[in-house]
Structure 1
Amino acid sequence: MVHKHAFEALDRTMSDVFTDGRSIRSDVPFGGKVFVFGGDFRQILPVIPNGTRQQIVCASLSSSYIWSKCKLLRLTKNMRLTIGADSSDMDSIRDFAKWLLDIGEGKLGDDNDGEAIIEIPDDLLITDSSDPIQSLIDFVYPSIMQQFRNPGDAKEYLSSDSICQTEQMLDSFQEGLYSTENLNALKISGLPNHRLVLKVGVPVMLLRNIDQQKGLCNGTRLKITFLGKRVIEAEVISDGNIGTRVFIPRLNMIPSDKKIPFEFQRRQFPLSVCFAMTINKSQGQSLSKVGLYLKDPVFTHGQLYVALSRVKTREGVKILIFDADGKPTNKTSNVVYKEVFGSL
């Protein structure tokens, strides 16, 4: 998901630092240093706000001048599915892995350019017609829902919002427009809400990088174990640091959303209640169970592939799809920009 400009800027910087214009040919990338890129072009490409298909593909590393100088090494075994699996299940695992690859490469459904309607196998669908949403919740969160019902009072945390000191002096009209009440009402992606209500046992997601060595990165999932006045204790429940107890402080956060015509900061715990997450946010996660709720179809390259490939077993995924009339269905859209594979 990294924009190609980031790699190209690094290439020019490394060339300036290590070659000094004399010791090595200018056509050797990164000043002669070896770099290893890891990724999968079947997954979500760089996010370009309001970008077109052409802009998204053009922003990918495979569209950079660096790509022609790269040596491509392919990984051919789905380790997420095969590790710890019984030998008797290998045939079904291989079939599921191939089905995932076909979705990622756009080989299923009609030969539409960029988007195709595909059918989902019946064993992956939520079939309870009485209350399909509740069936999806019961499939994914049985243990968490049980903990959430434990006795205990919820605690409310309110943020402190203010205009950044870098902003120019505001007149009386602007001061009223950007009042504390208006700042508190803003709900921005990547920023915790002004009013944060938490309870011991509730799953949350970290919204900022705090300590990467301990696994406290943007997107890390945790479970609340203690709610203090100035600090929150939580237990990591994702990635490689499962079970680690950590303390989360309040942070000053400034949103990067360019749609806001001014800068303000919010002092709040960088947490968001995480009974669900977006497909983009789930990229990189390995989960035992995934319930995919598709009220609306996916809208960009690789989203369906990412959502379905988070699980360790075929039995670990269930999908709830609604059609335009709000009725459960077994068909959904799969968006794949095949031109991104052209240079692979």
Structure 2
Amino acid sequence: MGTPSYDVEETRLFAKWILDIDEGNIGGPNDGVATIDLPDDLLTKDYVDPISKLFDFVYPDILKYYENQHYFQDRAILAPTNEIVDEINNSLLKFFPGDKVEYLSSDTICSSEYINDTLDTTLYSPELLNGLIISGLPNHKLVLKVGVPVMLLRNLYQKEGLCNGTRLQIIPLGTRVVEGKIIFGTNIGHRVLIHRSPLTPSNN
């Protein structure tokens, strides 16, 4: 059974609209700031709890289907900032049964950044380091539950399909390793292990 032609055309028009926004072809001449009218069918009009309304739309009956890997293949929520990503993730976790597991980073200052050996390292307290939100790096605390969908932000092992943007569903949660099942792409169904990885910001 093929995909209905109207779905293909609708997807093509939507993709073109997104590209036109990205290329600045919508909103008239501007210097980087423009006003764009969004179609009504793309708007969440519940101003009391818009995130819950968004979940109802993207993930209907999530408790009924969350154990089915196919349920998440055609569903995802994209967000413009890390703060909104955290808000959405924290809200989504509440829908999943089971206990939360927290994973914390181990933050240290690169030795090359010390001005001299006598620099008081209390200037860089763990609280300060853990509170930093840096583009391209995950936050200090990652909270997961079994069954939640996640997306990789790094190329870990491309031969196994573990690339930036790979979507997985969490299975067991270990102390130092997280196991996931790939739910999108050419390696659907493969179970993989995600271990701790050293990450260094590219911007000094």
1:101 pairs with one of 16, 31, 37: 16
Q: Is the 8 A contact 1:144 1:201 kept in 2?
A: no
**Alpha-carbon spacing, 1:99–1:158, altered in 2? closer, same or farther (3 Å):** closer
- The alignment's TM-score, normalised by the length of structure 1, stands at 0.42
Partner of 1:177: 123
1:162 pairs with one of 85, 98, 108: 108
Partner of 1:219: 165
Partner of 1:119: 37
2:138 pairs with one of 182, 192, 200: 192
Secondary structure in 2 aligned to 1:200? coil
Partner of 1:251: 197
Q: Is the 8 A contact 1:191 1:255 kept in 2?
A: yes
Percent of matched pairs sharing the same residue: 52
| CA displacement at 1:245 relative to structure 2 | 0.8
**Alpha-carbon spacing, 1:151–1:171, altered in 2? closer, same or farther (3 Å):** same
Cα distance in 2, alignment partners of residues 239 and 185 from structure 1: 34
| CA displacement at 1:113 relative to structure 2 | 4.3
| CA displacement at 1:170 relative to structure 2 | 3.6
Higher relative contact order (CA closer than 8 Å, sequence separation 6+): 1
**Alpha-carbon spacing, 1:167–1:222, altered in 2? closer, same or farther (3 Å):** same
Q: Is the 8 A contact 1:201 1:224 kept in 2?
A: yes
2:180 matched to 1:234?
yes
Partner of 1:134: 52
Cα distance in 2, alignment partners of residues 137 and 144 from structure 1: 9
- The alignment's TM-score, normalised by the length of structure 2, stands at 0.66
Secondary structure in 2 aligned to 1:232? strand
**Alpha-carbon spacing, 1:179–1:225, altered in 2? closer, same or farther (3 Å):** same
2:3 matched to 1:85?
yes
- Unpaired runs of 5+ in structure 2? 67-92
Secondary structure in 2 aligned to 1:196? strand
Deviations 1:237-287 (A, max 9, x none): 2333222211001111111133xxxxxxxxxxxxxxxxxxxxxxxxxxxxx
Cα distance in 2, alignment partners of residues 213 and 136 from structure 1: 35
**Alpha-carbon spacing, 1:182–1:101, altered in 2? closer, same or farther (3 Å):** closer
Amino acid at match of 2:16: L
Cα distance in 1, alignment partners of residues 106 and 44 from structure 2: 42
| CA displacement at 1:234 relative to structure 2 | 0.7
Secondary structure in 1 aligned to 2:198? strand
**Alpha-carbon spacing, 1:247–1:116, altered in 2? closer, same or farther (3 Å):** same
**Alpha-carbon spacing, 1:173–1:137, altered in 2? closer, same or farther (3 Å):** same
